[in-house]
Structure 1
C-alpha cells in the first residue's frame, strides 16, 4: 500500500476505518472487551483488572452455598459452631470467616458383627448383631463426641452383651425379638447420653448359634422343641374338631330330654284330667262306667296277645295274626305244628264244674259273671 493512499493515516496511528472504530457488530463487542481488560499488550492496569475479576468471582462462589435435600450444612465461624443450613440455597461470609461442612442426614448406615456372649445360665452363644442408624443432629455428630460411628459400635456391643447376659440360653435361641426391642431402647438412651447425634432406626438379632463343639446337642434340643410344638398344634387341632362335636351332641341330648320332659308332663296332666272325668262319670253311672272300663281293658289286653280259637275241650286252632308291618314268622320244617305246642289247653265251664264236684269244691265263677255279680 502506498504511503499516501487516501483513507490512510500517515502519522502511524490506527489504520482502521472509521466504521470499524465505531463499534458496530461483532467487532464492536470485541473492542469493548479488549478495552475493559486494558488490551492484550499487558500492563499494570491490565493485571490489576484481571486480579479484581478473579477475586470477585471467587468471592461470589465462596459466599454462595447450595444444600441438597439429603444434606445438612454446618456453618463454622472462625472455627466455632454458628448454625445449621437446611436444604436450599444460602449465603455465608467468605472463607476464612465462615466455613461449611455438609453432612448426609438421610443416609441409613449399617453396622453388623458376630460376637460371643455369655448367658445368664453360663452358656456361650454367638449372637449376630445388625444395627441401622442415621444422623439426627449434625451439630452433636460433629462436635458432641470424637467419633460418633465408633461410639455407636462400642455402645451396640455393650448393650447386646448386657441384654443377652441377663437372659437364658433358651430365650436367646428362641425368643430374640423381645431382646432386640429392649436392646434398641437401651442403645438409644446410651447414644443420647454420649451426645453422638445418631438415631437408631433398627436393631435386629437375626441369628444366634452355639459353639461348634456343642452344636449336635443343641440340634437335638431344637428338634425336640419342634416336635413339642408339632404335637401341641395337632392336639389343638384335634380339640378344635372334637369339642364342637361334643357340644353339639350335648345340645341334642339336652333338647331331646327337654322335649321328653315336656311330653311326660303333658301326658301325666292328660291322664290326671282323664281320671278326674272318669271319676265324675263313675259317680253318675257306676255300672255302665265299670263295664265300659272292663271292655276297654280286655280289648287292649287281647290286642297285644296272640289269638286262639277253641271249639271244644280237645280241638284248638291257633291263628297267627302278626301286627301290621311286622315280619311273618318262619314256617317249620313240617309246616304244621300241634295245637298243644302252639297254645296251652283251655278247659270249659262244664269241665271245671265236673272237676270241682269230684274234688268237693264249688266251681270258680267266670269273669263275666263275677263282673255282673
Structure 2
C-alpha cells in the first residue's frame, strides 16, 4: 500500500515518514498513519521519506602500492534517521551521489598504501575506514550508515593471469618436490632390497660351496677306505670328471641356454681339478697356520 494524500488528509505508509510544511516552512514530521491537514492555514504534506535500509553499489578504480590497477566493488547499506528526517529531506539534493563521492575519496586514499596481496588480506580495514568517514559526514545530514562491504576486488586481467600462473608454478614446484622425495624413497628401498638380496645370495652360495666341499671330502674318504691302493688325488680327479660330464649333459638337455664354450678336454679338466685341489690345500694350510699362531700366543 503506497502513500496517499489529498488536500485535507494524508495516509503515510509503514516504514515511511512524512514532512509537513506550513506556508512553505518546515512544520513537523508525520509518523505512519492517517493525518489531517488544514490547507486554509497553509499546512501541506510536502514529501515522504522511506526509513527502510537502502543499498548503494559503488565501483571504484584505483591502484595499489605495487602499481597494480584494481576495481573495488563496495556495497553501502544506509537508512534515514527518523528523528533527523527533516535534515535528510532539506540538506541533500542527491544523497547517493554524496555517499559515492565520499567512498571514492576514502578508498583512493587508503588503497594506494597497500600492496595487492595486502589489499586482499586487509579489505575489512578499507571497509572500516569508509564506514568511519561516512558515519561522521552523513550523520550530520540525517543518514545512518549500517554496513559497508567490499564485495569484490578485481585486478587487471593481465595481472590476474600472471597471479594464476605464479600460483600454478608454485604448486607445480611443490608437486615436483614431493615427486622427487617419493622417487628418492623408492630408490633407497630398491637399493636396500638389492643389498639384502645380494647378501642373502652370498650366504646361500657360501653354504652351497660349504656343502659341496663337505660332500666331496666325505666321498673322498669313503672311496679311499673302500678301494685299497687309491690316493685322494685320484679320487678327486674322478669326481671332477664326473661333474664335468654331468654339466655337459645338463647343457645339452636345455634348449634355451646362452653358454659360451671354451677349448676343453680331459687335460683341461685335470688342470681345473689341480687348481681346485691346490686352493683347498692352501686354505687348509692357512687355517692350520692361524691355529698354530693362536696356540703360540696362548703359550706366551
TM-score between the two structures when normalised by the length of structure 2: 0.49
- The structure with more strand, counted as a fraction of residues: 2
TM-score between the two structures when normalised by the length of structure 1: 0.40
- The structure with more helix, counted as a fraction of residues: 2
Structure number with higher relative contact order (C-alpha < 8 Å, ≥ 6 residues apart): 2
